[in-house]
């Protein structure tokens, strides 16, 4: 079994899901008392979040790359960055380590392609929805058509992520807002929805959508187990 490197804490609410899913999948795959071999560093998200909203991505890259190097030193065979947004600096992190990064967008896109999805809606932080680092990878590498919500909807989704979900708060009113956004994407022809922030799955579930939801945290975690046992 390979050792999975987890770079988490962004936020710890979703990192908890990663840890639980990875160990459950390992137990289901190997049986008995098996659990995953993990080397993990969980960061102080307040520091990262402040830098995100200042636009200081170089500083976030430096901080996370240092943590990634320590994860590698701890014996990890590959790295899982437990957040969608910080894959914006994945290439800079990769340049500082010798182990591969299991990219969350690749894992998600592979699941979509396998299910013959062509047009997909993308939810996430404003950074993920508006910038190209995530969308472009899906479009260029996997030939997917990616649609994002309106500017007003992006602001609503972003606010709920940072002010509620990252704090472990789930509100019915916020779920209803997300359901409206999802339905608008479906009405515009989306065959599935990417929950492109690892906290969104805490709020909306499959029963909240008329099309399949692809929870990136779950997909990423399960892919890590597959890679660890390959």
33-72 per-position pLDDT tens digit: 999 999 999 999 999 999 999 999 999 999 999 999 999 9
Name the residue range of residue 149's domain. 105-215
Number of domains the chain contains: 2
Task: Give the mean pLDDT of 176-190.
Answer: 97
**197 carries an active-site annotation:** yes
Task: Give the active site residue among 21, 83, 108, 125.
Answer: 83
Nearest to 104 by CA among 18, 36, 186, 32: 18
Q: Domain check: are 32 and 74 in the same one?
A: yes
Judgement on whether residues 76 and 91 belong to the same structural domain of the protein:
yes
Which position among 21, 197, 198, 216 bears the catalytic label? Answer: 197
pTM of the model: 0.94
Residues 146 and 199 in one domain: yes
Same domain, 138 and 224: no
141 and 209, same structural domain?
yes
pLDDT at 131: 95
198 lies in the same domain as 142:
yes
């Amino acid at each position: 079994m390979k050792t999975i490197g987890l770079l988490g804490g962004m936020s710890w609410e979703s990192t908890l899901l990663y840890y639980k899913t990875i160990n459950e999948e390992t137990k289901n795959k190997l049986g008995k008392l098996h659990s995953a071999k993990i080397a993990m560093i969980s960061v102080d998200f307040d520091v990262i979040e402040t830098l995100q909203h200042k636009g200081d991505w170089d500083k976030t890259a430096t901080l996370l790359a240092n943590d990634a190097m320590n994860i590698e030193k701890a014996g990890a065979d590959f790295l899982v960055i437990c957040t969608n947004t910080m894959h914006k600096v994945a290439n800079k992190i990769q340049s500082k380590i010798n182990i591969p990064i299991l990219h969350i967008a690749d894992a998600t896109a592979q699941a979509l392609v396998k299910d013959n999805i062509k047009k997909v809606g993308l939810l996430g932080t404003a950074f993920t929805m508006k910038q190209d680092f995530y969308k472009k990878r899906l479009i260029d590498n996997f030939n997917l058509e990616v649609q994002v919500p309106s500017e007003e909807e992006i602001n609503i989704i972003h606010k709920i992520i940072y002010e509620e979900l990252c704090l472990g708060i789930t509100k019915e009113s916020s779920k209803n807002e997300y359901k409206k956004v999802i339905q608008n994407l479906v009405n515009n022809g989306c065959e599935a929805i990417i929950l492109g922030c690892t906290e969104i799955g805490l709020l909306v579930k499959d029963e909240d959508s008329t099309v399949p939801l692809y929870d990136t945290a779950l997909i990423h975690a399960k892919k890590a187990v597959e890679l660890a046992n390959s």
